Amino acid sequence: MKNVILIIYFFSAVHMAKAQSVGIGTNAPSNSAQLDIASTTKGLLIPRMSSAQRLAIVNPAIGLLVFDMDKYTLYLYDGVQWLPMLLAANTLTGQKAMNTVTDDLFGARVAIFGNYAVIGAPNKTMAGNIAQGAAYIFVKSGNVWVQMQELAQGDGTSGDFFGTSVAINGTLAVVGAYNKTVAAKPAQGAVYVFSLVSNTWQMIKKLIAPDGQSNDQFGFSVSVEANTVVVGAPNKNVAAFSNGGAAYYFVNNAGTWTTGVSLSVANLNSGAQFGYSVSIASPLLVVGAPGLNSFYPYTISGGNWASLPAQVPTDGVPDDGFGKAIAASANFVVVGAPDKSIGSNTAQGAAYVFYPTNPVVWQSERITASDGLPNEYFGASVATQGSDIVIGVSNKVVRSNSNQGLVYIFSKVNSAWSQQKQSAGDGAADDFFGNSVGIHGSNIIAGAPGKSANMGSVYFFILP
């Protein structure tokens, strides 16, 4: 008897569905729709399949809709052919320098300011010098970024790795060559400063550490603001501390550069690697020391940078890599900890936002990816502008492509961080998209040095 009742109910429901609209999540479905689905927390999941599976569908009906997992877009069958719904596709594609070749690592480091960007290609062979390195200036013309100039090092030799670090602010661009031999001291390192003069970027100064020694790696990190350049030398031996590290600042006074001043640091020890990362945004200058799981802030006082207490994450543990990446803005400091384990996810990575509420006690909060997985190293590259944060995750698996990479954009909305993601439309395995990131205004740049057999690419896009 129950079976009879169920059969009667089923056919009654079908008859009613033919006679009126059906609503899911709504009691008032639209009269123009056979099926009206309403929700504020869930979406409609279209059947997903590979291109081969889509093309194998026998006699597809006109209007049939599927999501192609190989093309990563929706396809509609019009009765004759499958049409891609291109508005759903990711069209972000990379750009290369005019003379980029395999293994240049173009995009290994990037920086952006206004309508100019500087891009490092530290492995590039120049005039027969293997891995001398190169750097390029791109300029925004209308809505398009184009190459403006290749920067000339002047005294380049093999193995300099010119372009390992880059920075730009106003009309000054700075490029590091951390492996440069100086005065017969291998890998002491040097930094080159370029100025925009009459629409041409000219080298105006080569900076070296006043106390430089072999293997200091001066120029491993750089930052610039107005007339001040900050340089890190994370492998410098300080007193009895091997690889304790150092950081220096140089000031351009009307064309005359001061001798580099070494920033003071307390509690240094071997392996601290103070200077692994640096950033300046007045009134703050900050230096990362991942070996100490710390960063050191400085504030300008009487024309000099005075040290403030070192800052550490409240949940920090050794080997988090806290301080491997750092970026300062007028509002806060962002510090990457790419080796940090989140729950059971080893080396998922995290980033921390520090607010200088007073010189001694800073407030902080942790940011992680909502879809984080082990060994992604979230926080290996960071950038910030205003209330926005950009974080590159170059080891991220995207569409089954290992190390394709992804960029996360976080914006502060009503005291909470909202997360958005950007991938490369032409992404592939081992691109390492997001290896380096930068932001200024609404413009974002991301490097993918592994693209096209390590030829490398850069991507420009607008803050969402």
CA distance 354 to 378: 17
- Averaged pLDDT, 342-354: 98
**pLDDT level of residue 15 (50, 70, 90 thresholds):** very low
Side by side, the strands of the sheet bearing 190-197 are 165-169, 172-177, 190-197, 200-207
User: Taking 70 as the threshold, does the pLDDT of residue 308 lie above it?
Assistant: yes
CA distance 4 to 423: 55
Where is pLDDT greater, at 377 or 50?
377
pLDDT one-digit tens code per residue, 110-150: 999 999 999 999 999 999 999 999 999 999 999 899 999 99
User: Taking 60 as the threshold, does the pLDDT of residue 1 lie above it?
Assistant: no
Are the beta carbons of 192 and 239 closer than 8 angstroms?
A: no
- Both tokens of 352, joined, read 């921390």
Sketch the domain layout of the chain as residue ranges. 2-88, 109-462
Burial class from Cβ neighbours inside 10 Å (0-12, 13-18, 19+) for residue 323 reads: buried
Q: What angle do CA 134, 140, 146 make, to 5 degrees?
A: 50
CB crowding 84-99: b at 16 or more within 10 Å, else e = eeeeeeeebebbbbee
User: What pLDDT does 86 receive?
Assistant: 58
Q: Which CATH architecture has domain 109-462?
A: 7 Propeller (2.130)
User: Taking 90 as the threshold, does the pLDDT of residue 84 lie above it?
Assistant: no
If we measure between CA atoms, which residue out of 405, 349, 335, 356 comes closest to residue 377? 349
Percent of the chain scoring above 90 in pLDDT? 77
β pairing state of 165-169 and 144-151: unpaired
**pLDDT level of residue 2 (50, 70, 90 thresholds):** very low
Q: Which of 15-29, 282-296, 372-386 has the lowest mean pLDDT?
A: 15-29
Q: Which residues, including other chains, have CB under 8 Å from residue 322's CB and lie 6 or more apart?
A: 288, 290, 293, 294, 295, 312, 313, 316, 335, 336, 337, 340, 352
Cα four-point dihedral sign 353, 356, 357, 361: positive
**pLDDT level of residue 89 (50, 70, 90 thresholds):** low
- Both tokens of 227, joined, read 């007339």
Kind plus residue range of the DSSP H or E element containing 334:
strand 333-337
| 361: Cα separation from own chain's centroid | 28
Give the chain's mean pLDDT.
92
Q: Which CATH architecture has domain 2-88?
A: Ribbon (2.10)
Euclidean distance between the first and the last CA atom of the chain, given in angstroms as a whole number: 60
- Averaged pLDDT, 80-96: 77
Assign 95 to helix, strand or coil: strand
User: What pLDDT does 241 receive?
Assistant: 95
Are the beta carbons of 159 and 172 closer than 8 angstroms?
A: no
User: Taking 60 as the threshold, does the pLDDT of residue 25 lie above it?
Assistant: yes
**pLDDT level of residue 11 (50, 70, 90 thresholds):** very low
User: What pLDDT does 29 receive?
Assistant: 82
Q: Which of 53-57, 164-168, 342-346 has the lowest mean pLDDT?
A: 53-57
